[in-house]
Structure 1
Amino acid sequence: MDSAHHTACRYYNLDRGFSVADLAVFHGHLGPYIVIGYRIGRYVREHFCDDPFCLKATVFCSGTTPQSCLADGVQLGSGCTLGKRNIEIVPADTIRCEFAREGTTLSLTPHPFTLPPGSGPEYEAAIEEIAERMYSMPDADLFEVTSR
């Protein structure tokens, strides 16, 4: 389905930003992968294509958590959703997100980051703190962008 099918819709393609609390509500908790996915999706929507009906997202990652959490952020940031069937997760050794529109592809590769070892309440608090910092970082500090 493309944007031509929604010309009379008042609620078509509404755009809004989501806070870290919004990301946590959608995902169930706050972690770095949903934040990076969200920021990637926002970048794409602002710099590549602002109509999620004209966009296709492919998330390359391990296919398991926590890397697959990237896809939840991409959905919120870009507007590509499982329901519209314009996002998919492809198992891969290297994490990246590709967005295609009219024969052009934008590839965004997150910069590596380190998560602290551990488990329990202190670990969860540390993960949230990392995610909160990432939310406010410049795009260039979070990911690299290439097009083809």
Structure 2
Amino acid sequence: MFQKILVATLSILFFAFVVCIGYDKNEKNMVQNEEFLSQAVKFHGHLGPYMILGLRAGLYANQVLEKDPMQTEAIIETLPQPPQSCFVDGVQFATGCTMGKRNISLIEGEGLKASFKKNDKILILTLKQEIIEEINSLPPDDEEAWENLAKDLYQREIEKIFKISK
């Protein structure tokens, strides 16, 4: 029990460091930061495409809206179960929006759409259909294929992944 509490405490402290200190406003710089990716995977538990997509969406929202984990709100519309709901963990890790602060919510919907709001600025990212099809084409039990796609999505240009509305 003590070990679980210690691991949870250390994870929270690292998360606070990333959110408050170790953050670079340039989304491309953060994508190239291997330690950031490594900690996101530890936070979520594994490397998968939906967590990566949430991470990318959150990083882009930080860049466009200027990161503020207290003032930013995120609404995620997708299926409310894994693997699609893994997107939420990526957004939480990148933006600092959390269920505890109640500034992130998950609404059941088709496809995947993330809406970010800070003050009077709004950013909407809708996952492109070809990305959904690419993920759906993966064999469900081929963990290596899922991880390889996640790594590939982590490096792709944001405009090739999401339809962006500001």
- For the aligned pair, the TM-score class normalised by the smaller chain equals 0.7 to 0.9
Distance 2:64 2:39 in 1: 23
Percent identity, please.
30
Work out which of the residue numbers 20, 23, 26 in structure 2 matches 1:13. 20
Which SS does the other structure have where 2:80 is aligned?
coil
In the TM superposition, structure 1's runs of 4+ consecutive aligned residues that sit over 6 Å from their partners are: none
Is contact 1:49–1:55 with CA below 8 Å preserved after alignment? no
Give 1:20 shift: 3.2
Which SS does the other structure have where 1:53 is aligned?
coil
- Residue matched to 2:139: 118
The 5-angstrom pairing of residues 1-148 of structure 1 reads 13-16=20-23, 17=30, 19-112=36-129, 113=131, 114-115=134-135, 116-120=137-141, 123-147=142-166
In the alignment, structure 1 segments of 5+ residues that lack a partner are 1-10
Kindly provide the amino acid, as one letter, of the partner of residue 14 in structure 1.
Answer: I
- The TM-score normalised by the length of structure 1 is 0.82
In the alignment, structure 2 segments of 5+ residues that lack a partner are 1-16, 24-29
CA-based RMSD: 1.8
Distance 2:44 2:52 in 1: 10
Please say which of residues 82-91 and 33-42 is displaced more in the overlay: 82-91
Higher helix share: 2
Distance 1:89 1:110 in 2: 15
Distance 1:143 1:15 in 2: 26
